Homo-oligomer: A and B are copies of this chain.
Amino acid sequence: MQGSAFVPGHITGFFEIFDDSDPVKAGSKGSGLVLDKGVYTTVKVKEGSGISILLNGEPCDCPVTKDAVDDILKITGTRFNVEVLHELEVPMKYGFGASGAGAFGATLATSRALDLNLTMNQCGAIAHRAEVLNRTGLGDVIAQSVGGLVIRTKPGAPGTGGTDKIFSDKHVLVFIVGDEMETKPILLDKTKREKINAIGGECLRKLLKDPTPENFLGLSKKFAVETGLMDEKLYSAVETLEKKDIIASMSMLGNCVFTLTDEPERVRKYLDYLYIIADIDYTGARILV
């Protein structure tokens, strides 16, 4: 028994944290870009027990994926041996929502493999819950469920939170500027959280008043600078692009610089970093054949 799914990557531009004792209601508001590059997941199920996970062919603990698969197996009330194969088109720990994409894809693919017929929101809630409890993400899964330049207007999992979409046909260009970043310590730091929430809330109000791609980029930069999350190296990269009249910001939470452009092949030459060119994915998470 086998199932496959694709879940797009998601770059958050800014966010505001909302706690709740119910992880399905907890999450964040904010805004971000859903990419047509993400995580492909295949799940193979047979008799037996245990969950093994391979990430680009290498064994991986992948606790968020493991928790999500554990949760979905509880629904069946039966033990199975589950093999999860993640193939990533985006890097881990660089603010692409890879952990959420992996867990969400594993849930969709397991539902298909076991003919559980779970809906989008049921799979999304399982993945969102695993993200919140592992403190690896707060808003990626709901954005990934709908696709687009997503505004998250109400926190929570798919089916609980609320979203809207801005239209843009520009390409997404992302530069890998610094090292890997862990989301968890930032989400647990009280001072950082207070700054994030004050500035994130302000950015959302301003985006809703003028919901354009350019305003999204500008507010993302404001957020990254004013929260102190953007370091010198990232700031310098963003400044280099600004001198060419290109508004750019930092992926949340990762050491990447991103922008929207009609000319990714021209703009990529302005910085000497590894880069990824993608389009906005307007479809969102999906089960493959």
Binds B, one of A22-30, A44-52, A91-99, A279-287: A279-287
A123-180 with Cβ < 8 A to chain B: 146-148, 151, 153, 159, 162, 164-167, 169
Once A147-B283, A283-B282, A283-B283 are accepted as A-B contacts, the answer to whether A164 and B289 lie under 8 Å apart by CB is no
Q: How would residues 249 to 288 of chain A score, 1 for a CB under 8 Å from any chain B CB and 0 otherwise?
A: 0000000000000000000000000000000001110110
Size class of the contact patch on chain A: 20 to 34
Q: Which of A66-74, A112-120, A229-237 contacts its partner?
A: A112-120
Q: A147-B283, A283-B283, A289-B169 are in contact. Are A117 and B212 (CB under 8 A)?
A: yes
Report chain B residues within 8 Å CB of A212: 117
Q: Given the complex of chains A and B, what is the CA–CA distance between A120 and B34 in angstroms?
A: 15
* CB atoms of A211 and B117 under 8 A apart: yes
* Closest beta carbon of chain B to A206's beta carbon, Å: 14
Asked if B120 and A164 sit within 8 Å, CB to CB, the answer is yes
Complexed CA–CA distance, A146 and B147 (Å): 10
User: A121: CB under 8 A from chain B?
Assistant: yes
Q: Is the CB of A117 within 8 A of B166?
A: yes
Contacts of A242 in B (CB 8 A): none
Q: A210 near B: Cβ within 8 Å? A: yes
C-alpha spacing A119/B165, complex, angstroms: 6
- Nearest chain B CB to A171 CB, angstrom units: 13
Please pick, from B167, B286, B287, B289, the residue contacting A120 in the complex, using a CB distance under 8 A.
B167
Q: Which positions 178-210 of chain A face chain B at CB distance < 8 Å?
A: 210
Q: In the complex, A167 Cα to B169 Cα: how many Å?
A: 27
Chain B nearest Cβ from A281, distance in angstroms:
9
> How many Å lie between the Cα of A183 and that of B286 in the bound state?
33
How many angstroms between the C-alpha atoms of A287 and B169 in the bound complex? 9
From B108, B112, B211, B282, A119 is in contact (CB under 8 Å) with B211
Asked if A148 contacts B164 (CB within 8 A), the reply is: no
Complex alpha-carbon distance, A169 and B288, angstroms = 8
User: Chain B contacts of A284 at CB under 8 A?
Assistant: 282
User: Which residues of chain B have C-beta atoms less than 8 A from A148's C-beta?
Assistant: 120
- Contact at A162–B164, with CB atoms within 8 Å? no
- A210 proximity list for chain B (CB < 8 A): 117
B-side contacts of A164, CB under 8 Å: 119-122, 159
> Measured between alpha carbons, how far is A112 from B153 in the docked complex, in Å?
23
Q: Can you name 7 A-B pairs with beta carbons within 8 Å?
A: A112-B167, A119-B165, A121-B165, A146-B146, A167-B286, A169-B287, A282-B286
